[in-house]
Every structure is written in C-alpha cells, then in structure tokens.
Amino acid sequence: MGSAQDLDNTSGGTAPARPRGRRPGGTDTRTQLLDAARVEFAERGYDGATVRVIADRAGVDPAMVNHWFGGKEALFVAALEVPIDPVELAARVVPGPPDQMGERIVRNFLTIWDATGGRPIAAAVRSVAAHESAAKVMRQFVGRMLAAKIVGPVAPDRPELRGALVGSQMIGLGMMRYVLKLEPLASADHATVIAAVAPNVQRYLTGPLD
C-alpha cells in the first residue's frame, strides 16, 4: 500500500528537526499519523476528516502526510489496512473490454491476496466485525472505490447496488479462501477460481439484475 515516497524515505528518521517543536520525520511519525488518521476517519468519515487535523492530532507537520503517504486517499487506505489497494486495483481492472472486467477483478484479487497469504483479510474482517467505526470507514471505502471508480464506468444502471454485489462476492471469496480456508476453494489454482467466480461477478457488473 506504500507510495513511492515511502520507499525513498530511508533517511527520514535522521532528518533535521522540524520547526515548532514537532517531531522529526521518521517511522514514529508514520505510526502517529496512522493512529491519528484512524480516529479522525472513524469520527468524521472520509470527507469530513482533513489532513491538517490529522497531522495536528499526530503532532506533526501536515507536509508529513504527503511525505509518507502521498496524500489523503493513500493515508486513508493505509489507515484502514484495506486488504487490497483500490487505486492499484482500478488501474489494473478498468482498462480493457467491459465484458471481461469480471475476470480481471477476480484475477487481480487472487494475485494480490495470494501474495499476502490472506492475513490482511483476516485483520480487516476482524476489525470491521468488531468495531462499528471500522465498519463505517470500510463502508465508505467500498462505496467510494468499488462502486464509483470500478463498477460505475461499466454499469448499465444501479452502480451502487452492482458495486455492493461485486463486493459481497469478493469479500466472501476472500473469507472462504483465506480465512476459513475451505477446500477445495482454499488451494484451487487461479484458473479454476476465475472460471467459477468471474461469470458471477460479470453478471453483477453488466448483467440483468431482475
């Protein structure tokens, strides 16, 4: 989920002290920003939370948000510990024939999730099921990202419903394959899962819903 800026900043921990007594940039700053962001996003939602207030709460300069995360949206994703990067996902699945988007969605979820062994999914699910604040933030995330940026461009109608339906299938697939680890789905190869699931996702995207 890290931006390119993250990777460049190997010397952040030894940067010169910032003015006004704020902490120098470093991994503590990043953690403080994530903690502050979780509180702010949960309390005010994505649109209500501001980079300035989050930085204030963390006791760091607002420029540190860009420095460490590249912007508010990337901070939101990092704070939420979403088990998939929606910006990366959109870049991979939106280009291409609309009638094959279901296949691109399933293939990319599998590739990204398999690389992490599903641990981020379990963490996100646990958090969402345990805390209404996390559920609220995740709800906004799914609505903003999935419905608006991925499903919206190809949906013939009702993009919000279609986005929620696609989300329901992908969350359920993630739960079954990586958290419940139910066979044969847990260790099925990508081709098998794509052949089974992609047509259903495609119907949610562009098929008739009634």
- Contacts with its own copies by CB under 8 A lie at 122-123, 125-126, 128-130, 135, 138-139, 142-143, 158, 160-161, 164-165, 167-173, 175-177, 179-185, 188, 192, 195-197, 199-200, 203-204, 209-210
Rounded to 10°, the helix 132-141/119-130 angle is 120
Instruction: Work out how close the CB of 145 gets to its own copies at its nearest, in angstroms, rounded to a whole number.
Output: 12
CB of 98 to its own copies, least distance (A): 18
Closest CA to 150 of 200, 206, 194, 111: 206
Q: Which residue number, 65 or 193, has a Cβ lying nearer to its own copies?
A: 193
Identify which of residues 57 and 203 has a Cβ nearer to its own copies in the complex.
203
Nearer to its own copies, 91 or 180 (CB): 180
Alpha-carbon span 76 to 112, nearest angstrom: 19
End-to-end CA distance of the chain, in Å? Answer: 37
What sign does the CA torsion over 2, 127, 135, 146 have?
Answer: positive
Q: Give the CA-trace dihedral at 47, 88, 30, 58, to 10 degrees.
A: 0
Give me the sign of the Cα torsion angle 175, 179, 180, 182: positive
Neighbours of 134 (CB within 10 A): 20
Least CB distance to its own copies at residue 61 (A):
34
**Nearer residue to its own copies within complex by CB, 75 or 134:** 134
CB of 159 to its own copies, least distance (A): 10
Q: At closest approach, how far in Å is the CB of 203 from its own copies?
A: 6
Smallest gap, in angstroms, from Cβ of residue 153 to its own copies?
Answer: 19
Nearer to its own copies, 36 or 205 (CB): 205
Alpha carbon of 165 to those of 5, 44, 86, 205, 209: distances in Å? 34, 26, 17, 9, 10
Nearer to its own copies, 70 or 143 (CB): 143
Type of residue at 53: V
